[in-house]
Amino acid sequence: MLALEALVWLIAAWLIVRLVPFRRWRGLLGPVLATPQPDQPADDLSPELSAQAKGVGWGIEAVSRDLPWKATCLMRALAGRQMLRRRGLQSMVALGARSSNAENLEAHAWLITQGQVLLGASEAVGYKPLVHFGEACPVESGHAASSG
Give pLDDT tens digits for 38-59. 544 555 667 887 889 999 999 9
Looking at the 3D structure of the chain, how many domains does it have? 1
Measured CA to CA, the distance from residue 76 to residue 7 in angstroms comes to: 10
Give me the half-sphere count of Cα atoms (radius 13 Å) on the Cβ side of residue 77.
Answer: 28
The boundaries of the domain holding residue 9 are: 2-19+48-134
Q: How many CB atoms lie within 10 A of CB 115?
A: 15
Other C-beta atoms closer than 10 Å to the C-beta of 5 total 18
Q: Is residue 12 part of a domain?
A: yes
Task: Determine the average pLDDT of the residues in 115-136.
Answer: 86
**Partners of 140 in the β-ladder:** 143
Is residue 43 one of the residues assigned to a domain? no
Q: Which amino acid type is present at position 27?
A: G
pLDDT beyond 90 at 8: yes
Q: Is residue 98 part of a domain?
A: yes
Residue 79 covered by a domain: yes
Q: Please tell me the pTM assigned to this model.
A: 0.83
